Structure 1
């Protein structure tokens, strides 16, 4: 909504605005691009104009949407999913991603999965076994090891720390 509002303030009427993407029916002048980019950066966004960066942003958005969607992840590997979605060889996507982002595609996926695990642990609606199944981990042990490697905490300790910081509503 923020991006759409800003585009409209610039006299641009976007066709569609979705996570990570806005479709503008007309070409922007270099001055318009500069001004729009400055305004978007003030709001924590950026204007992406080259093909490689757009592709990488599309890959990142697809991973985030897939991992953070409700329900179980599909039983397809991320490499197959991304290759099919972007009609490119996974190794080429992976190499480009590493060059642009400074981290591997696998590291990005793991980071997003761990963020989703944290979210689900905080909600406290699913057991660790259920979270493990939902996010296609081979076992609870694998999830726990990966979680500890990324966060420095076990999932159980993370949950305990979060609960200690929470103040029940009746105590506020």
Structure 2
């Protein structure tokens, strides 16, 4: 049995979910972004307690098939961008089709209808948040960040960054109060 959980965006989220599963006595085999593979089916009481505990810390159990699919799309994008998963220079549409075994046009329409933005726009927002993170670390040059984030040029990165944030990457780096959004709020 699998559970699908909304708002999981990082390794700390996985840890938080594991802690909640342990505290409610629900045995599991594996926890990934957005999904938990259970070792056995939990009782209705355990599931209710888990749901309440997850809601209290900003997560949500998903029942709806379309919401589950939308969350899978988000998690694939987050993994590609924030975990530096190699995509072999494939287009995002091809990656999503391959991983989800569904037509991209359907996925795109579904995502837009539930999230109010396109998959492409969501992907751009995630990339910009990752760029903000890399700029905050101040370890890489803008050129190195553009390469790592697979932008065609520093200029393209700078234009997209300014369009999303209102600041150039250089100006953002200069600011001491680098305001970043939590990934689940992007």
Give the TM interval when normalised to the shorter protein.
Answer: 0.7 to 0.9
Match in the other structure for 1:12: 26
Q: Does 1:52 align with 2:66?
A: yes
1:137 to 133, 151, 161: 151
- Give the TM-score taking structure 2 as reference length: 0.80
Is it true that 1:156 corresponds to 2:178 in the alignment?
no
SS at match of 1:15: strand
TM normalised by structure 1 equals 0.85
Structure number with greater Rg is 1
- Richer in strand (by share): 2
Query: Where does residue 101 of structure 1 map in the other structure?
Result: 115
Change (3 A) 1:40 1:76: same
Q: 1:73 to 1:137 in 2, by over 3 A?
A: farther
Unaligned runs of 5+ in 2: 1-14, 180-186
Cα separation, partners in 2 of 1:14 and 1:107, compared to 1, 3 Å: same
Gaps of 5+ in 1: 166-172
Deviation at 1:4, TM superposition (A): 1.6
Aligned residue number for residue 3 of structure 1: 17
Given that residues 25 and 46 in structure 2 are in contact (C-alpha distance below 8 angstroms), is that contact kept between their aligned partners in structure 1? no
Higher relative contact order (CA 8 A, sep 6+): 2
Determine if the alignment matches structure 1 residue 67 to structure 2 residue 81: yes
**Is the CA contact (8 Å cut-off) linking 1:67 and 1:73 kept in structure 2?**
no
1:143 Cα offset (Å): 0.9
CA separation in 2, counterparts of 1:164 and 1:39? Answer: 31
RMSD: 2.2
Q: Normalized per residue, which structure has more helix?
A: 1
Distance in 1, matches of 2:178 and 2:133, equals 16
